[in-house]
Amino acid sequence: MPAQPHETLPPVRLPSEAELARDALAAPLFAAAVRLARWAGAGTQVDDAGELPPARLPEAAAALGLDPQDPDAGAHASRAWRVALDTGLVELTGQPDGSGAAEAGGAGHGATDGSGTEHDGAKAAGPGRGGTGGTGGTGTGRAGTAGAAAGAAAAAGEELALVIGGAPADVLGLWLAACDAVLADAAVPDLDGLVDALGAGGVIDFDRLDWNPQREADLLDAVLADLYLLTAGGRGTAGGTVPLPVLAASVAAPGGINGPGPAVLERVAGALMRLDGQFRQLEPIGLVEFRPVDEAVLLSPDDEDPAAGPAAGAPGAGTGLGPEDVSRYGTVRLTPLGLYGIRARLLEAGVAAPAVGELADKGADALLDAVCDYPEAAAEAEIRQWLEARELPAAAAELLDGARGADPGGPLRRLRCQQALAVAGPQAEPAVRAVLDDPELGGLARVWLAEQGAADVPAPDGALVYWLAVDTIAAQLGGAGGEDEAEELPLLMESLTAHHAGFFEQAWRVEHPATAEVLEAMGRLHPDKQAAKQARKAAYKTRSRPR
């Protein structure tokens, strides 16, 4: 996928593998593929591409519980059959009479065994897994069937046994292969466009079609990565729903829309309709929940342009449209299974995409370093899982030891440690009292004990008070959003200077690695102009003192 290899995304909370496997088996398209694999008897006749002949489609539709007379039933059965073939749920076996060549085998099993090793067919199962890390290319995982002889036969594949007797990870491996095949299909333009672009000899004129397979696959991957980021960062609406115009604008105008001209609006509208068609294809595999574009909107020229506002960031921002109006242009949300699937693709592409619970078996130092980059709620969830796997108060002592350090990350580690100790509760008290005389942890210990209502908490000396003030502000500045997202910082600064007369005269002397940076930040952010001026003078004095 097109994210940067070293980019770290916000952590996501995923259900257990067992729950995700149940969701995968319930996804309509995957469930239909499984049913057709069970339906396929030995010697089921297929054409030279491994597809069911038109004469067999009504029977296959009936096996899925569909009305064979319904004109859409055959198309649904055909699509489910292709997914079964792509995942190895169905395999080519040779000639119908059993005298044919050896198995074609390259139908693209695309699953993993219990050890996480891909089956041989994974290389043909679509370039999203075991290949390029994206949907890239025109193939949908049927490379091995292209050379099958006319009048070939198919039967249930070995992978079908994994659906019944395999571990949840086996089922999810099959679903990921199916998902890759569906994503590859979704990047292909509609068949009507392909027919219109046929040139002499039935060869597609890609220039006339204006379709670059790799570009289209990368664009879809980029949209899904954006959707993942919006979901993981909690920037969608309630329930993680994102208006389709937001994603369309991210494709058509990645730099943002500010007074767009007709050309930009036309690109956004085109991207909107392309995504509408693609998400219609992705919903049956369980990747997304999707509300299509309301056709009535497309027929009304007086409606607000979908590209005019939501693209700015917040859904519906700047448009004057209510949530119901915005939703008429289509909405989409990743399902928990979809989060799992897109995360798997991101990890394969080298992107750091953490999930809550991954640090449960790591040391306290690794935990605190990692959650420094997490949003508050995700950090607390990770800390809770870490503590649940350990005995207190030993875990509290380990946390306190991991919070030490004069490096730039030290203040935020101590802040996260304090948060972790609050989760740990009264059982952490012995470990906390043991560090009351520690120059780095003594202030944190006193604050925690006071919050717990503990008795006999020794009063801090003046130097410790100012050191703790600097450390606290440094932690806020070093958070995931820095001072840009720490709205409470000016209030904290105002409170500190109000409660400590001559704050800056004492603060510039504090022996803390971040003293100068903290005072400079107070000079920028303090709401009182006179105090801000004093902070800047104090920062200069800190920078000028001999080391």
> Is residue 249 classed as helix, strand or coil in its secondary structure?
helix
pLDDT at 348 over 50: yes
Which pLDDT band holds residue 232 (cuts at 50, 70, 90)?
Answer: confident
Per-residue pLDDT of 442-473, as tens digits, reads 999 999 999 999 989 999 998 999 999 999 99
340: helix, strand or coil: helix
Tens digits of residue pLDDT in 458-515: 999 989 999 999 999 999 898 755 555 567 899 999 999 998 889 999 999 999 999 9
Q: What is the pTM of this model?
A: 0.75
Of 3-7, 117-121, 231-235, 536-540, which range is least confident?
117-121
Has residue 381 got a pLDDT over 50? yes
Measured distance CA(399)–CA(363) in Å, rounded: 9
Say which residues have a Cβ less than 8 Å from residue 325's Cβ, sequence separation at least 6: 304, 316, 319
* Helical segments of 410-502, H only: 410-424, 429-433, 442-451, 462-477, 482-485, 489-499
CA dihedral for 490, 493, 498, 499, sign (positive or negative): positive
Question: Cα–Cα distance between 231 and 240 in angstroms, integer?
Answer: 5
Continuous segment of H or E residues that includes residue 289: strand 288-291
Mean pLDDT of 147-159: 75
Task: Give the N- to C-terminal CA distance of the chain in Å, as an integer.
Answer: 48
d(CA 270, CA 261): 14
User: Is the pLDDT higher at 158 or at 297?
Assistant: 158
How large is the greatest C-alpha to C-alpha distance in the chain, in angstroms? 95
Inter-CA distances, 306 with 266, 301, 324, Å: 10, 11, 13
| Burial status of residue 310 (CB atoms within 10 A of its CB: 0-12, 13-18, 19 or more) | buried
- Alpha-carbon distance of 519 to 513, in angstroms, equals 12
